[in-house]
A and B are shown apart, each in its own frame.
Chain A
């Protein structure tokens, strides 16, 4: 502890003797002549024999006054502690509120601890200092923008709620912080997080970045995957549970089918990284089951993140997708489609599409129509140009490889789990497209697989015929077909019934449908927006099963279910990071973690204590009046009780 103005302590040296002198003057008691001190002496003897400290009683006031003086003098000297904190005048606080911040290892939760830390930082802000508070996790939100109003800062901090099931990506927030810090000279960036964040490497923050780690424990067991799919005996339920903690643990997994307990499994996990850290449960369940729920129970001390202890899976049954194959007939394609659940494939050879409602997906296999039907399209080895693209020639023996833009980032949904580099192609069409299409796979400078959206529909183009390659013989083929159908018919198939929190629900709806109702996991009913043949519902932060009902003329014509689960290993792995790599302009690569630069002044507490002492002193001074009052009250009460 140090003092800001130690000279103020001299005031105690001046006033202290004054108080003592006044007290000594006051000690000259009033003299009173009495008939005899006989009775008084007896009493005083008795009192002093009973309680030696009674002698001290008269000194209480002096003692309290000196204590008061001491407190005030120390408060004037402005003592402070050095704490971890900030020293700048323009503070940018980035608070992580992602799913892992809901962990309860720092009671009540990490977010609460982060909030407290943020409040401490705001307290340490010098007079007139500015603060910007950014919440990351899910959608980035600036809850307080460059304000000097402390009340606004506190309100903003208090308003933060955990964003269950969101990833924390710092790139946006750090970009904003960089821009803000560049504008003001004396800036500091404080990151309050558990360290489970993504940090861009290409950023240079022009200010000191301080990292305030939150969280202590890493123990967490999570349901990491769950699916319900048609099986030989009705349906098959698949649940994967992962231990992310450093110690072996055993948990019970309860399975509920449509709300009723179905089975319970005792699972023993190895530590994170071991082979037995992941346990899988596969169960045959009846075909009529709509919603399956898995819950982890038992040993709650070894699990600090409750939000990933429950997961849901919904039955894909009833979510059919109509696919029309136009072409001379393709066994590979038909077999691959037949393997997918909920797909109804019809074959036709004519390129002209007759009237009636167009199916959701139309596949043109080595044929090109004159007029394009409505709905989403998949072209395989188109022979002629269409309004969407033009065919300019043929490429022989192209070498397939993923497009360069794909290598850097994440795999697009179409190429998920698909490896195309080992596919050999005899001949492919050279295709040129407009800017709507994105090349996913290219061969010899020509696009081999294209995908994109045009005029409100999705289009996928495969440049080579299946018969001209060994693709149908590879593992990649059924996956590619499945991914393509998933892409072309959003909201269908296995993948689509599982949605990450925050992602919008998209359902293709019939034009005749008048309304789409959403029944949320908590039972609340919401309406979804209908736009261009799709119903979109974005309020999907809450975990659990969602039921979507399409209503036509007050009649439910179709029901679909979605499950929203927190299947993000990055968030389930809650072990806090003690260091954070944030490159700064100053050359530091690491965020500053434990430097004591914050100045925690305590004069407010001393002043509060002084006020308390003043109150106590007054009470001591008035104690005889108080005793008198108490007696009066007691007598009054006794008098009131007597008639009753």
Chain B
């Protein structure tokens, strides 16, 4: 299935709704330049953080004179630094995502766009990375509402690639990423080594949210008869005789797999959200993600 790049990701009404949302972070993150989020460092803002004794070389403008009057010693008054965050959006555009009805990659694109837009509207920096063999692309550090257009354009241009090595991509990203921050991974995770991939991302202090995107055809396959199933990425074939029993066993396996991912994520502080592409994107973002505490 080919994507229609001309199709807009959102309409304006939905964008207005997105304006009211903000990305939640559970802890303070280090940023590069001043922004709207509390950083772990002390800086110049209106919010008081701490006092510390004056040592030579400190800026005397920050000495709290009221305290000096009381204690006759020099103290510096420290304020919380408000910094911008880098939101990492990882979009899996491997061939396995180029499947399903509603289309998984389109869904991932729209989710990424929504998250990016929310981040941009709170003056955060957004980095979008798509990994797939032959179609990897990256959009670095767009910032502010003005960055929304390049972001959307980038996502719309995004083409599905070939077989993507999820583990390799995640390892590479963990190595190269600057300013670890909230990371949103949009993938179907259909890779036998999905655990390694998540582990690789977990090696850096990212605050990971995994959006596990599966099409209804994967969640509830409707097959009857003898089939030769071809893998979209590897071309590998599996012969099955689909009957009710087989399908039931498939669903049992699927549920087991999802449970395994959830357990894994829970143990590593990863927010795991299951996405069924049959659910409209708007509804999913506005209700589901708020319920799960990913957005506010």
**A interface residues (Cβ-Cβ under 8 A, vs B):** 27, 29-44, 46-47, 57-58, 623-624, 627-628, 631
Contacts and interface: CB of A to CB of B under 8 A. Distances in A.
Most buried by A among B231, B233, B236: B231
B224 interface: yes
B244 A628 contact: yes
A40 B243 contact: no
Interface in B228-283: 228-234, 236-246, 249-250, 253-254, 257
Nearest to B256: A42
A37 B237 contact: yes
Contacts, number: 96
B236 A37 contact: yes
B169 interface: no
Interface in B183-219: 188, 190-192, 215, 217-218
Nearest to B100: A35
Interface residues of B, number: 40
Contacts of B215: 35
Contacts of A36: 96, 188, 190-191, 231-233
Contacts of A44: 238-240
A35 B218 contact: yes
B244 A37 contact: no
Contacts of A624: 224, 242-245
B223 A32 contact: yes
B240 to A, nearest CB: 6
Contacts of A35: 96-97, 99-100, 104, 188, 190, 215, 218, 232
A164 B135 CA distance: 102
Specify the main secondary structure of chain B where it touches its partner.
Answer: mixed
Given A34-B230, A36-B232, A47-B249, A41 B239 contact: no
Contacts of B100: 35
A428 B98 CA distance: 137
A58 B228 CA distance: 14
Nearest to B224: A624
A180 to B, nearest CB: 65
Contacts of A47: 246, 249
Contacts of B239: 29, 44
A34 B238 CA distance: 10
B218 to A, nearest CB: 6
A33 B99 CA distance: 9
A38 B190 contact: yes
A258 B242 CA distance: 80
A195 B243 CA distance: 65
Contacts of A34: 99, 217-218, 229-232
B57 interface: no
Contact of B230 (A31, A41, A623, A627): A31
Contacts of B188: 35-36
A22 to B, nearest CB: 14
A37 B229 contact: yes
A270 B65 CA distance: 140
Nearest to B243: A624
Contact of A40 (B99, B224, B238): B238
Contact of A33 (B226, B232, B244): B232
A627 B245 contact: yes
B238 A37 contact: yes
B226 A40 contact: no
A627 B244 CA distance: 7
Contacts of B218: 34-35, 39
Nearest to A33: B230
A38 B226 contact: no
A624 B233 CA distance: 30
Q: Which 3 A-B pairs have the closest CB atoms?
A: A624-B243, A36-B190, A35-B99
15 contacts: A32-B228, A33-B99, A35-B96, A36-B231, A36-B232, A37-B230, A37-B238, A38-B190, A39-B257, A40-B240, A43-B250, A46-B249, A57-B241, A624-B242, A627-B243
B289 to A, nearest CB: 23
B227 interface: yes
B249 A31 contact: no
B99 A31 contact: no
A32 B236 CA distance: 12
Contacts of A31: 227-228, 230
A497 B64 CA distance: 147
B191 to A, nearest CB: 7
Contact of B231 (A30, A37, A46): A37
A42 B228 contact: no
Contacts of A37: 229-231, 234, 236-238
